């Protein structure tokens, strides 16, 4: 798919923007803090209603304003013209209709009821300095990576995740009630019955989530190994393993795993009551990344961590392409400057055939070498845009 235009209102440093985009590479260049990343962020937002930089929508609203509006028009590879629009309104004091934040998502002008309904409609993969968080941060960063990727491929998975979170809150509330010392035995019994009902629902939902994550992890592992070899030329063997708080064997079917999960949940009940929360389940799981059997997070060098992050994102791209049959839009925020010219060359080769958005402060960062002709040689068509204080100017492609 490819974006034909982006429209912003009160988004980050943009009060108002309308910009057309074209096939091939869109190179956004300009000094620091002009609004390059903000454009990529707005585009990525239209894949899953979440920024790659923050989970807080209010930060995206231009300071001093109370709502943002983002529209991305795109053409699919099947030649359908579509549009995703996200309109977010912050709560406003003294307005009884605006006591809570409101987020409206529209697909071709029709309002979608749930975020899950937008999953898989517009696909983009972002490569950004924040990718390192997948490696360096705690397990939740890796779960988010996995969950957002799977949701773009299987929208029903996102509904499972939402349902699971809802069930977990109910169970944890009940556990806290059970913990209260003054709960008498009679009340306890009825609470226990309730708990059983939640447990059965949780187990079914958790089974779907864990089995799907397990399968996709295996596919990512295979694709990331190919990518790391191709891009980084690294000879290390990358292993990616899904570590579940309830261990699962590849040979298990859903019924079997559901049974094991439910037993595990029930075994933990007494401990869970003391803690007041649920100690096993997909919300506790992690991805374990290792290079040559050595875990990446604590031991790998900065450069190795970067290569693994890049390999994970390339695996995401390949998997999305395979499963959806669409070429996702690629967003490359400042990634070129960190790669040597060999790796830049190989990365640009990989993204050929996609519409891509590349940001840089200096055009020399996206050129392969001093021979300026080579840019058009590697990425096919390209367009240059200068970004200056939230204004974008299309520049004549001086190197063509
Ligand atoms: P760099 O080359 O340093 O990465 P950039 O061009 O990518 O720069 P952006 O991250 O897009 O810069 O940010 C541009 C500007 O947007 C910054 O000056 C920042 O202060 C401003 N900004 C961020 N959030 C808001 C907001 N909510 N309201 C107003 N301005 C904002
Ligand atoms: Mg930036």
The tally of domains found in the chain comes to: 2
Domain that holds residue 273: 131-323
* pLDDT by 10s per residue, the chain, length 400: 999 999 999 999 999 999 999 999 999 999 999 999 999 999 999 999 999 999 999 999 999 999 999 999 999 999 999 999 999 999 988 889 889 999 999 999 999 999 999 999 999 999 999 999 999 999 999 999 999 999 999 999 999 999 999 999 999 999 998 888 655 565 566 667 788 889 999 999 999 999 999 999 999 999 999 888 887 676 789 999 999 999 878 788 999 999 999 999 999 998 999 899 999 999 999 999 999 899 998 988 888 898 899 899 999 999 999 999 999 999 999 888 777 777 777 788 877 889 999 999 988 777 655 454 455 444 567 899 999 999 999 998 655 4
Q: Which ligand is nearest to the CA of 387?
A: 1
| Same domain for 77 and 21 | yes
Q: Which ligand is nearest to the CA of 53?
A: 1
Q: Looking at residue 375, what is its pLDDT?
A: 53
Q: Looking at residue 97, what is its pLDDT?
A: 87
d(Cα 297, Cα 277) in Å, to the nearest integer?
Answer: 27
Given 262, 296, 323, the domain boundary residue is 323
Cβ of 152 closer than 6 Å to ligand 1, yes or no, is no
Q: Residue 242 has which token pair? A: 């899904």
Cβ of 187 closer than 6 Å to ligand 1, yes or no, is no
| Same domain for 289 and 159 | yes
Given 288, 308, 323, the domain boundary residue is 323
Helix/strand/coil for 278:
coil
CATH code: domain of residue 45 = 3.40.50.300
DSSP 87: E
Helix/strand/coil for 254:
helix
Q: Which ligand is nearest to the CA of 64?
A: 1
Q: Residue 47 has which token pair? A: 């894949």
- Take atom 4 of ligand 1 and give the residue whose Cα is closest: 32
| Same domain for 166 and 108 | no
- 83 has which bridge partners? 73
Given 323, 356, 384, the domain boundary residue is 323
Cβ of 383 closer than 6 Å to ligand 1, yes or no, is no
| Same domain for 293 and 352 | no
- Closest ligand 1 atom to residue 64 Cα is 28
Q: Looking at residue 368, what is its pLDDT?
A: 54
């Amino acid at each position: 798919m490819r974006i034909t235009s982006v429209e912003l209102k009160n988004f980050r440093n943009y009060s108002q923007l309308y910009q057309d985009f074209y096939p091939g590479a869109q190179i956004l260049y300009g000094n620091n803090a002009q609004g390059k990343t903000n454009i990529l962020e707005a585009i990525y937002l239209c894949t899953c209603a979440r920024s790659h930089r923050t989970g807080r929508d209010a930060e995206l609203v231009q300071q001093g304003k109370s709502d943002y509006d983002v529209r991305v028009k795109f053409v699919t590879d099947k030649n359908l013209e579509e549009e995703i629009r996200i309109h977010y309104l912050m709560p406003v004091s003294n307005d009884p209709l605006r006591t809570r934040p409101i987020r409206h998502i529209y697909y071709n002008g029709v309002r979608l009821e749930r975020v899950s309904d937008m999953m898989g409609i517009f696909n983009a993969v972002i490569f950004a300095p924040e990718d390192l968080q997948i490696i360096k941060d705690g397990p939740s960063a890796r779960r988010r990576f996995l969950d957002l990727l799977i949701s773009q491929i299987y929208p029903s998975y996102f509904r499972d995740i939402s349902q699971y979170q809802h069930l977990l809150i109910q169970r944890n509330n009940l556990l806290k009630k059970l913990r209260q010392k003054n709960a008498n035995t009679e009340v306890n019994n009825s609470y226990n019955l309730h708990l059983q009902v939640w447990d059965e629902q949780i187990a079914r939902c958790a089974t779907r989530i864990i089995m799907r994550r397990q399968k996709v992890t295996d596919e990512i592992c295979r694709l990331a190994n190919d990518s790391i070899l191709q891009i980084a030329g690294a000879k290390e063997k990358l292993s990616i393993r899904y570590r579940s708080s309830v261990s699962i064997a590849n040979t298990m079917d859903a019924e079997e795993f559901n049974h094991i999960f439910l037993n595990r949940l029930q075994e933990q009940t007494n401990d869970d009551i003391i803690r007041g929360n649920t100690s096993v389940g997909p919300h506790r799981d992690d991805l374990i990344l290792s290079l040559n059997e050595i875990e990446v997070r604590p031991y790998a060098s900065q450069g190795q961590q970067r290569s693994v992050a890049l390999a994970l994102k390339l695996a995401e791209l390949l998997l999305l392409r395979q499963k959806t049959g669409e070429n996702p839009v690629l967003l490359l925020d400042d990634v070129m400057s960190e790669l040597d010219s060999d790796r830049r060359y190989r990365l640009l080769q990989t993204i050929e055939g996609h519409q891509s958005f590349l940001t840089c402060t200096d055009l020399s960062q996206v050129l392969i070498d001093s021979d300026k002709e080579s840019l058009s040689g590697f990425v096919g068509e390209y367009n240059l845009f200068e970004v200056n204080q939230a204004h974008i100017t299309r520049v004549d492609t001086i190197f063509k």
